[in-house]
Amino acid sequence: MQIGEASAASGVSAKMIRYYEDIGLIPSATRKDSGYRLYVEPDVHRLRFIHRARELGFPVERIRDLLRLWNDRKRPSREVKKLAAQYIAELEAQITRMQGLRDTLKHLADACDGDSRPHCPILHDLAGTHK
Amino acid sequence: MQIGEASAASGVSAKMIRYYEDIGLIPSATRKDSGYRLYVEPDVHRLRFIHRARELGFPVERIRDLLRLWNDRKRPSREVKKLAAQYIAELEAQITRMQGLRDTLKHLADACDGDSRPHCPILHDLAGTHK
DNA sequence: ATAGACCTTCCAACGATGGTAAGGTCAAGC
DNA sequence: GCTTGACCTTACCATCGTTGGAAGGTCTAT
């Protein structure tokens, strides 16, 4: 099948399939005489794997590791779990940080009258005039 | 004062000060005969405002709006509060999304033995073989 | 033969920041 | 006056993942 069909079947845009090939995340596709890329079912399977991992937010470089483990039928599940745990920890850290931002902004917004008067604790805080 | 001092006083790197000038977030600095940029206290104040807003995660384009409101002494606080509320809602959405990712990964990791055996629900899910 | 759907490569952009290179300026010390 | 070193200038390149476009080649059906 050509790249368009592989794209539709995997959920990965043709653009991104070429990109993944470019950065070596997937092997170079075989080509027809015309230069068109050709794919078979296992290729689509791998693309679906990548698509799902991206949906889960794994950065591409981590997907490289996941693919390596996926291809190794004898790998210990310990290694996969470790990668997942690392990523979970990163997510936790980012969530905590964003919750902090949200809380700070909420406090400022709560203290802001939000009426037609110009006084506003939000801008006041941003201006750093309280320090 | 020169850009280095303005940078140290505001917490914004010299690099970013030039960038902000480039994208029109701040007005073009006056120059010495040598071409060196010159700053005065109100400039530093504005840079601190930007710095704090970036710390709070405001994207630069939103800071543009905030600066406009900040410069308008007669603006109703309602407008500022509205901007903040929008950003808070975006934060909430992002937090919720990341929590979803984290929970999904946690469930998968919990179901993974994490031992030397190769079976692993994490890769199994990524492969989409359950669908 | 021609239309139109598909494919190819290459280039640019996004947002915010860091880095580097090649060069100009300025103040202090000798 | 000359050198040193800290500071400044512009102009690129890289990041990360993705999208868009341009200019052109290929295939299929009419």
Work out the widest C-alpha separation in chain B, in whole angstroms.
72
Cα–Cα distance measured from residue B72 to residue A110, given in angstroms and rounded to the nearest whole number = 21
Nearest Cβ partner of B117 from A77, A98, A120? A77
Query: Taking all residues of chain B, what is their mean pLDDT, rounded to a whole number?
Result: 92
Regions of chain A with pLDDT less than 50? 131
Give the tokens for residue A91: 């997510």
Cα–Cα distance measured from residue A121 to residue A106, given in angstroms and rounded to the nearest whole number = 11
The set of strand D positions with any atom below 7 Å of a protein CB reads 7-10, 16-20, 25-27
Cβ < 7 Å from strand D, B residues 61-120: none
C-beta atoms of B115 and A57 within 8 A? no
Confidence label for B126 from pLDDT (cuts 50, 70 and 90): confident
The distance from CA A78 to its chain's CA centroid, rounded to whole angstroms, is 23
C-beta atoms of B105 and A56 within 8 A? yes
Is the Cβ atom of A36 within 7 Å of strand D at any atom?
Answer: yes
A72, A104, A123, A130, best to mutate vs chain B, most B CBs in 10 Å = A123
Q: Greater confidence, A3 or B127?
A: A3
C-beta atoms of B102 and A92 within 8 A? yes
pLDDT value for B129 = 59
Give every CB contact of residue B8 below 8 A, 6+ residues apart in sequence: none
Is the Cβ atom of B33 within 7 Å of strand C at any atom?
Answer: yes
Cα–Cα distance measured from residue B29 to residue A34, given in angstroms and rounded to the nearest whole number = 56
Average pLDDT of B18-26?
Answer: 96
C-beta atoms of A102 and B91 within 8 A? yes
Distance, Å, B52 CA → D8 C1': 26
Confidence label for B98 from pLDDT (cuts 50, 70 and 90): very high
DSSP assignment, residue B37?
E
pLDDT value for A131 = 43
pLDDT value for B11 = 96
C-beta atoms of A56 and B101 within 8 A? yes
Distance, Å, A80 CA → C21 C1': 43
Asked whether the predicted pLDDT for residue B54 surpasses 70, the reply is yes
Asked whether the predicted pLDDT for residue B131 surpasses 60, the reply is no
Nearest Cα residue to B49 out of A104, A101, A128, A122: A128
Express each pLDDT in B103-116 by its tens digit. 999 999 999 998 99
Is the Cβ atom of B52 within 7 Å of strand C at any atom?
Answer: no
Is the Cβ atom of A16 within 7 Å of strand D at any atom?
Answer: yes
Is the Cβ atom of B21 within 7 Å of strand D at any atom?
Answer: no
Confidence label for B130 from pLDDT (cuts 50, 70 and 90): low
Give the tokens for residue B19: 């960038």
Q: Which nucleotide's C1' is closest to B22 (Cα)?
A: D10
